[in-house]
Amino acid sequence: MRCEICQAKEATVHLTHRFPPIEGLNVPATEWKDHLCGECAIAYEHESDRFLHQQLSPWREGMSKEEQELALQALQGAQWQHMTEWKRKRSSQ
């Protein structure tokens, strides 16, 4: 299997991202996988960390557990969208 980003090297890093369902809110579990070479995996992790550090904290005082779970899922969804677009741009270079 080739790296999803560079498509030039063998994918040796297989990342599985899993987010549990949010009970009571009918939000299903989410899972996706990335298959990357070592070099692209490092760049992927750096970009993912950079994105998360730029985001505002989703936590607010007085949030219920369900509100916290929903806020976390929204952040994870934004991260997934950002990283999907980032991979697309990198793979077209």
| Domain assignment present for 47 | yes
Domain range for residue 38? 13-91
Neighbour tally for 59: CB within 10 Å: 11
For residue 75, being part of any structural domain is answered with: yes
**What's the structural domain count of the chain?**
1
Q: Is residue 66 part of a domain?
A: yes
* Angle between the N-to-C axes of helices 65-91 and 38-54, in degrees from 0 to 180, rounded to the nearest 10: 130
- Three-class secondary structure of residue 26 per DSSP: coil
Determine the pLDDT at residue 35: 96
Question: 14 forms bridges with which residues in the sheet?
Answer: 35
**Assigned domain for 81 exists:** yes
Structure tokens at 44: 């992927």
- For residue 8, is it within any domain? no
Question: Per the domain annotation, does 23 fall within a domain?
Answer: yes
pLDDT at position 15, please?
A: 92
The answer to which of 20-34, 35-49, 58-72 has the lowest mean pLDDT is: 20-34
Residues across the chain = 93
Give domain status of residue 18, yes or no: yes
Confidence of residue 27 (pLDDT cuts 50, 70, 90): confident
In a domain, 7, yes or no: no
